[in-house]
Amino acid sequence: MDRDITGAYTKSSTSGSISSCSDLSIEEHINSISTDSIPLDQVIPYLTKHHSFLYFTSKGHKVNSIVYFTESLNILHIITDKSKIKKVFTPDILDISAGICIQVKRESENIYPINIRTRNKIIVLGSKILNDRDFWYSCAGILLKYAKECFSSVGLRRYCDCVVKNKENEDEIIKLRESQYNEWLKVRYYEREVQSCEKDAIKCLINEMISTVELNEYQQNLKHLERKVLNLIGDKFLLKQSQGNLLKSLQRKETEIQTLTDSFTSVRNHLIILSSQYVPSNPWKSIIPYLSFIDLMILRGVNKKIRKIIFFYLRNKSNWRKIVSCTLYPRKISWRLYVNNFYDTEIAAMGQEVLPGVIEEIKQDVIRGLPDQFEEVEEILIGVCALFPNVGYCQGMQQVAHFLLGAFRDSNEVLGVLLNLLRPPFYLGDLWKTGFTRLKLGIFQLKCLIKLKLPFMGKHLKQIDVRLDVIVTPWLLTIFTCLIAKQVSLQIVHSIWDLFFVYGWPALISTSLALFSIYQEHVLGLDLEDTLRVFSGYVNCNCLLKEINKYEVSQNYLDELEKAFCLKEDAYA
């Protein structure tokens, strides 16, 4: 587009179409073509053929371009004069609409635009020929319709070909979609199986290494091992004898599985019939549990009725456990909303006077250990010491206060949140106060759980004589904010705090077990010095959230371990 009209276009806030001003006049020339009148077998060759269009840049320039879909129909290519290829994936296209005609008086020509709205932006194409614009727009609308019906963009061309060949047979289309979905499920299943096999292979390799070391250490017991091998050979012979029975049992199970599959298909068809007959009175109540927190915040602005449903949904603590499985982003809103819903953040009392020695210690730790916001963190920590003198101050509190200040951006609000975290179910008061009773309990609980869930790690730490508190104390006292200094992603630390806000103390135990699981493959076989160096350095924690879910610990089990710890302390007393 020449310089007279490059600045004459602005994007509309509602539809994203291009409107004209100054020396441009607008007339509506939208020619509607019924999408049902164009056969699909004409749509596909037409869209895969190269077409000349005008491409409007974000600054309003118009550029000659070639537009076509790939043979698989899953990518739209836009090639400009500079041989730059812009790729738009078909699943990302939300809708395609025909814009109003733009009449450029200086050039005495009409431009008929096409608005392509994707998930991220709006792409505007234009044509000087109305019929070309309308036919391409109608064909693209038909393709978009079938793309939304298709389960995956990978099989879109195959789906369209199937529609062309079997237009009158809807059952074939349903079977194709079901088989495509089943194939996708198989791929997902095999991916999980491959991951499981890889983990099993690593575990087997570690077991083999340990067996080799033990074999070298106990060569004097070779005769005993030979007798053991003979016994194993006898067991193998017995297993071969029972193999025939197992194969017969497997055949019977496969028959039962086939029977259950047929029954499931029958029940599913019946449910489809029932679901078509039943229309829920309030579908939002069944949809909301499957939405993330940011989706709920967006949906809350639709109307008062939905806002009321979401309000009561977020007033239930058990619903937050469903939400946190996705993410609580944006956390400045979610954490504040969670704390305000279930805890009192108002500061009622002024508190006692803090000793000068404690204030001086706080200032030194803050300046030495934090990058910024010194005064705000000092104010928060002094407030905690004044309101909870029995807790006092210990190293690690400054990192927690600085982390929360980065999330809430308000020192008074952070102080109110910290005062609630000092109480159950978070127990930070018992964790930080003199004597570190909660820290000792956490170490005892982790020692028992490591023996149960990570036996190789427990055996390794015992062999090199490493005390568990040397590794765990920085994690628990800083609520894992110390991982930021080890170059662990801030997003991962935020996710740990999401779980901590919702689950409380069990989240810290599960996270510690997950970290031990990640470190396990790096420290097995190392000596004391190398093991401590690995624990103090960087480790890839991208899979930490999956490991946390794997090592989830119930509150009831931790309560039983706490009773055992109290009995042990009473016995020593």
Task: Determine the average pLDDT of the residues in 30-40.
Answer: 58
Q: Is the pLDDT of residue 444 over 90?
A: yes
User: In the prediction, which pLDDT does 27 show?
Assistant: 38
Task: Determine the average pLDDT of the residues in 515-540.
Answer: 91
Q: Is the pLDDT of residue 377 over 90?
A: yes
The DSSP bridge partners found for residue 116 are 96, 123
Cα 247 from Cα 242, distance rounded (Å): 9
Of the candidates 115, 146, 111, the one whose C-alpha atom is nearest the C-alpha of residue 132 is 111
Task: Determine the average pLDDT of the residues in 295-314.
Answer: 87
Q: Is the pLDDT of residue 136 over 80?
A: yes
433, 391 contact by CB (below 8 A): yes
Residue 278 pLDDT grade (very low, low, confident, very high; cuts 50, 70, 90): low
User: In the prediction, which pLDDT does 451 show?
Assistant: 93
Cα 160 from Cα 146, distance rounded (Å): 7
Residue 348 pLDDT grade (very low, low, confident, very high; cuts 50, 70, 90): low
Cα 137 from Cα 461, distance rounded (Å): 67
User: In the prediction, which pLDDT does 168 show?
Assistant: 56
Q: What is the pLDDT of residues 468-488, one digit of tens each?
A: 999 999 999 999 999 988 888
Q: Is the pLDDT of residue 55 over 80?
A: yes
Task: Determine the average pLDDT of the residues in 150-155.
Answer: 64
User: In the prediction, which pLDDT does 28 show?
Assistant: 38
User: In the prediction, which pLDDT does 352 show?
Assistant: 77
Q: What is the pLDDT of residues 42-54, one digit of tens each?
A: 888 888 889 889 8
Q: Is the pLDDT of residue 154 over 80?
A: no
Q: What is the pLDDT of residues 173-184, one digit of tens each?
A: 677 788 888 888
The Cβ of residue 284 has, within 10 Å, a number of other Cβ atoms equal to: 15
Residue 381 pLDDT grade (very low, low, confident, very high; cuts 50, 70, 90): very high
Task: Determine the average pLDDT of the residues in 330-338.
Answer: 87
Q: In degrees, to the nearest 5, what angle opens at C-alpha 520 toward C-alphas 403 and 207?
A: 165
Q: Which of 285-289, 299-303, 515-519 has the highest mean predicted lDDT (pLDDT)?
A: 515-519
DSSP codes joined into one string, 2-37: -TTTTTSEEE-TTT--EEE-TTEEEE-------GGG
Which strand (E) or helix (H) includes residue 340? helix 331-342
Cα 558 from Cα 442, distance rounded (Å): 9
User: In the prediction, which pLDDT does 165 show?
Assistant: 75
Q: Which carries the bigger pLDDT value, residue 316 or residue 279? A: 316
Of the candidates 88, 120, 126, the one whose C-alpha atom is nearest the C-alpha of residue 107 is 126
Of the candidates 475, 473, 467, 476, the one whose C-alpha atom is nearest the C-alpha of residue 426 is 476
User: In the prediction, which pLDDT does 167 show?
Assistant: 67
Q: What is the 3-state secondary structure (H, E, C) of 434-490?
A: CCCHHHHHHHHHHHHHHHHHCHHHHHHHHHCCCCHHHHHHHHHHCCCHHHHHHCCCH
Q: What is the pLDDT of residues 507-526, one digit of tens each?
A: 999 999 999 999 999 999 99
CA distances from 116 to 63, 155, 364 (A): 16, 22, 58
Return the residue matching tokens 């805890």: 343
Residue 71 pLDDT grade (very low, low, confident, very high; cuts 50, 70, 90): confident
User: In the prediction, which pLDDT does 30 show?
Assistant: 40
The Cβ of residue 253 has, within 10 Å, a number of other Cβ atoms equal to: 10
User: In the prediction, which pLDDT does 11 show?
Assistant: 35
234: its two tokens: 């006898």
Cα 179 from Cα 269, distance rounded (Å): 15
| % of the chain beyond a pLDDT of 90 | 31
Q: Is the pLDDT of residue 138 over 50?
A: yes
The Cβ of residue 484 has, within 10 Å, a number of other Cβ atoms equal to: 16
Task: Determine the average pLDDT of the residues in 6-12.
Answer: 33
The Cβ of residue 102 has, within 10 Å, a number of other Cβ atoms equal to: 25
User: In the prediction, which pLDDT does 225 show?
Assistant: 84
Return the residue matching tokens 């077409």: 51
pTM, whole model, 2 decimals?
Answer: 0.52
Task: Determine the average pLDDT of the residues in 260-270.
Answer: 88
Q: Is the pLDDT of residue 34 over 60?
A: no
CA distances from 132 to 57, 86, 215, 258, 439 (A): 21, 21, 79, 54, 73
Residue 2 pLDDT grade (very low, low, confident, very high; cuts 50, 70, 90): very low
